[in-house]
Structure 1
């Protein structure tokens, strides 16, 4: 399923960007990527897609 694969790619890329922003001490960028990750999780939930295996929930905390 193309949508499922694209969602996985987007989640992975967003998490990588979030980790980089945190490591580089860029709180604004980290917050932006965290919000994007939350949006992607919400999109998945609306389509009954379980992304729990793809998402590192510890990244959602400030």
Structure 2
């Protein structure tokens, strides 16, 4: 999935996250999570429904701390 510069599908893509990659969520805004990918260091916004816990086995990015997910 695309990682965006702002919490909008109309903003510029700044990176890509793949299933199983881990991230750290740092902010939440209107259905979007601001994340930092652990492997690449890319920082940006993704739709919250695309961030999941390891138990879900769906979507893409796995937050380092599930409590950070809004």
- Whether these two folds match at TM > 0.5 is no
Q: Which has the larger radius of gyration?
A: 1
> Which is richer in strand?
2
> Which is richer in helix?
1
Q: TM-score, normalised by structure 2?
A: 0.26
Q: TM-score, normalised by structure 1?
A: 0.28
